[in-house]
Amino acid sequence: MKGSFKYIALIATTFLLLFSCNEDKIGENEFGTLKGKVVASGSNAPLENVRIATNPVSSTVFTDSSGNFTIENILVGDYSVEARTDGYIADFEPATINANVTSNVVFELDPSTANNRPPTAPVLLSPADNEVLESIEAIFSWNSTDPEEDPITYSLELRNVDTNEVLLFENLTDTTLTYSPLTLGTQYVWQVTATDEINDPVISAVSAFEVISAPVDNRVLFVRKINGNNVIFSADENGQEFQLTSSEVNSYRPRRNVRANKIAYLQNDGSNVDIFIMNRDGSEKRKITGPVKPNGFNLDEINIDWPEDRVSIYYPRFDKLYRVQFNGLGTVELYQTPDGSLISEVVVSETSDLIVLKTNNLQGYDAKIYIINEAGVVLDTILDGVDGAVGGLDLSIDDQKVLYSYDVSGFENEDYRRLDSRMFIYDRNTMTATDVSDNKPDGTNDLDPIFSPNEAFVMFTNTSNDGLSQKDVMRLDLSTQDSRELRHEDAFMPDWQ
C-alpha cells in the first residue's frame, strides 16, 4: 500500500513539471507584427528613411517613401519604439505586441528647430535717438543676441525724411555699418531687422537723427587719423569742427580755393594717389587726375597747391611738375628737374608766375628749396646743401618771404625720422632765414607750417620726435614771443585760407 502511494506521488510531480515546461515554451515562441507611419508634424508629409528601433531590442528598419515601416516576427510584449532622422526631434511611442496580431503606431516628428527661439529685437545704439551729427558720415551700431547662439543676419533701412528716399543695406553680419555721404541739414530715421533664418525676423524700434547744416564758412582745414585712415575736417574760428571726408578712405593734404569755393585734396588707394575736389561742405566729391597721378619718394610727404586766381592745381610726379584744371582737363607738364631729383612740395604765387619747389633724393634727403618761373628758369635758391629732412612750404602774398621747416639736427635714417624740426622764414630781400620756433618744447618737431591769411600768424603741426605720438595743430603769433596756441588736438596738415 505504501509503495502504491509513492508511485502516485511521482506521477503527479512529473505531470506538474511537464505542464510548467510546456507553458514557458509557448510564451517564448509567440510573435506578432509592428507596422507604423512617420509624418512631419503639422504638414503630415510622409518622412522617408527614418530609422525605427525598439527597446527591448528587435529589428531596426527604415521608412519607405510613403513614411511606412514594418517589423515582422517581433516577440510578444511591451516595447518603446523610437523614430529618428536628421533635421527632426527624435520621438518615442509605446507599443504592445500580441501573438499573431499586427500592432500599429504613428509618429509625428517636430523639426529640430521647433523649440528654437528667435534673436532678441535689435537695440539701436548709435546714432542716439534725436542726435545731431556734425559730419556727413554716420557710424551705425546696434546689439542683438540669439539664445541658441545661431548666426544672425541683419538688414538696415535708412530713410531720408525730407525726400522719402530709402536705402536698404542687407545681409549684414556685423553690428556696425559706416555710411557716407549723408545730406547736410536733413533728418533721417533708421531701423534694423534681425533673423536667424529659422524664426520670423525681429525688428528694432525706429530711431531718428539729423545732420547739421553745411558749415561753408569754415576757413581752417586739417587732417585727423581715424581707423587707420586720414580724414579731412574743417573748423571755424571758435574751433568747432566738421568732418568732410569718410573714415573709410584715406584723404589728406587739403587745399581750399576761396574763389572757386572748392577744396582740392589727395586720396589714395594702396600705391595710387589721385587729386580730388569737393565742395566746402564735403559734397560732390570727384577725381580729376587720370593716368598722370601725383607721386614721389613718400606719398605722405608730397603736397599740392591751388593758387587763388588759377583754374589749375599744381602737383609733383617724381622729377616732374604738372598742373591739371579743376574740371579734370588740360594736364600739362611744366618743369623737370635737371639733376633727376624728386619734387615733393610745391607752392605757387597768387600774384606772379613764381613757383617754389622742394626737391630731394629717393630717401627724402639732400633737400633743396628753390624758386622757378612758369618757364622753368631758376630765379632763387632758398635752402641747399643741408643734412636732415626739409618739408612744409608757403609763400607770402608779396612773394618776398618763404616759410618752411627744417630738421636742424641733420639726422638721417631710413625711417625719415626728424629730431629737431624747426620753422624758418626766409626773406628774399635780405637773403636771411629767421628761426620762428624759439619756444618749441624740447624733443618735438614743428612741421607743415603755413601763413595765416593776414600773414600775422603761422599755423603748423607740433608732435614728439618719436614718430609715434599724437600730432596737434598749433598757431603762432609772429609778433609775440611764447605765443604758441593749441588749436586742434590730434590733428595735422593744416590749411588756412
| Chain segment 278-300, per-residue pLDDT in tens | 999 888 899 999 999 999 999 99
Q: How many residues are there in the chain?
A: 497
pLDDT at 166 over 50: yes
Give the residue-averaged pLDDT of 368-387. 97
Q: CA-CA distance, 250 to 229, in Å (whole number)?
A: 5
Task: Kindly indicate the confidence band of residue 10, based on its pLDDT and cuts at 50, 70 and 90.
Answer: very low
More confident of the two residues 14 and 445? 445
The pTM is what?
0.67
- Omega within 30 of 0 (cis) for the link into 215: no
Please determine, looking at this structure, whether the domain spanning 123-211 carries the CATH number 2.60.40.10.
yes
Query: What is the separation of C-alpha 232 from the centre of its chain, rounded to a whole number of angstroms?
Result: 17
pLDDT at 348 over 60: yes
| Least reliable range by pLDDT among 95-109, 185-199, 232-246 | 232-246
> What are the tens digits of pLDDT across the range 453-497?
999 999 999 999 999 999 999 999 999 877 899 999 999 999 998
| pLDDT at 28 (0 to 100) | 63
Q: Where are the domains of the chain?
A: 27-109, 123-211, 220-496
The answer to whether domain 27-109 and domain 123-211 are alike in fold is yes
Task: Kindly indicate the confidence band of residue 242, based on its pLDDT and cuts at 50, 70 and 90.
Answer: confident
Q: Which CATH class is domain 27-109?
A: mainly beta
| Residue entry with cell 560732390 | 284
**Domain 220-496 belongs to what architecture?**
6 Propeller (2.120)
> What are the tens digits of pLDDT across the range 149-162?
889 999 999 999 98
- Omega within 30 of 0 (cis) for the link into 127: yes
| pLDDT at 304 (0 to 100) | 98
pLDDT at 402 over 60: yes
| pLDDT at 269 (0 to 100) | 79
Do the strands 102-109 and 471-477 form a parallel or antiparallel pair, or are they unpaired? unpaired
